């Protein structure tokens, strides 16, 4: 990894930390700049990393661009369905990236086991709440795609890819729990957890994919 790429990733970490402070202080104005700013820094890392594997690199650009759109759409008060679609596209791009790598049965079984735990612990209740809210179809489709992405990332054997993918699942699980299961007051207190796991996921996924792209 070149110093320029490392610098862009460090910048992403600093902007993420600033965004966490803004979330904790409920500073919506600064959050509107800092949250998408993390993805902008990751874009810079991709550009500075050079060409590498063009297919993987372009899919990463799609994933980050869709994530950037999702960030804007989900900023309070938020456009939930539009944001859901944007991140669905991001996960499809990440899924395609990992399918281009060598996937193996043994780590895939670990991913499937983790998925089963997720379904039992939280997924079922989130989906039940989504059906009651009239959003069952979109939520099921979304969780199906992110689950496939996480299992496939795990199947590559890359610790960074698996960690990033499952942190993304954790972030979206918190978000879904807050929207469809938890009372509003409790949901507000967990926003910091949603954002922190999301940023960690995006940074780890970007580092992992840049490694795959060479």
Q: DSSP string of 109-131?
A: HHHHHHHHHHIIIIIHHHHHHHH
On average, the pLDDT of the chain sits at 90
Give the pair of three-digit tokens for residue 101: 């790598």
To 10 degrees, the CA torsion angle through 168, 121, 190, 13? -20
Q: Per residue in 39-59, pLDDT tens?
A: 999 999 998 987 666 889 899
Closest C-alpha to 169, from 128, 120, 114, 210: 114
Q: Give every CB contact of residue 131 below 8 A, 6+ residues apart in sequence.
A: none
Helices within the chain (DSSP H only): 3-25, 28-48, 54-74, 80-99, 105-118, 124-132, 136-155, 159-180, 184-189, 191-213
Q: Per residue in 59-114, pLDDT tens?
A: 999 999 999 999 989 877 778 899 999 999 999 999 999 999 888 989 999 999 99
Sequence ranges of the domains in the chain? 3-213
How high is the pLDDT of residue 7?
Answer: 94
Q: Which residue has the higher pLDDT, 209 or 185?
A: 209
Q: Per residue in 183-207, pLDDT tens?
A: 766 666 678 899 999 999 999 999 9
DSSP secondary-structure letter at 2? -
């Amino acid at each position: 990894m070149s110093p320029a790429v490392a610098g862009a990733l460090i910048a992403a970490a600093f902007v993420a930390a600033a965004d966490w402070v803004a979330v904790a202080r409920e500073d919506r104005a600064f959050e509107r700049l800092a949250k998408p700013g993390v993805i902008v820094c990751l874009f810079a890392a991709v550009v500075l990393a050079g060409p590498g594997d063009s297919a993987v690199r372009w899919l990463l650009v799609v994933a980050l661009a869709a994530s950037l759109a999702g960030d804007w759409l989900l900023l309070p008060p938020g456009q939930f369905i539009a944001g859901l679609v944007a991140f669905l596209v991001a996960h499809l791009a990440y899924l395609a990236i990992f399918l281009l790598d060598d996937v193996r049965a043994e780590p895939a079984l670990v991913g499937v086991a983790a998925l089963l735990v997720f379904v039992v612990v939280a997924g079922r209740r989130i989906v039940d709440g989504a059906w009651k809210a009239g959003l069952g179809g979109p939520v099921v489709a979304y969780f199906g795609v992110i689950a496939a992405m996480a299992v496939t990332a795990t199947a590559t054997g890359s610790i960074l890819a698996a960690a990033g993918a499952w942190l993304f699942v954790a972030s979206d699980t918190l978000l879904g729990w807050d929207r469809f299961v938890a009372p509003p007051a409790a949901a507000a207190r967990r926003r910091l957890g949603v954002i922190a796991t999301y940023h960690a996921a995006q940074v780890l996924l970007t580092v992992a994919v840049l490694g795959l792209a060479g």
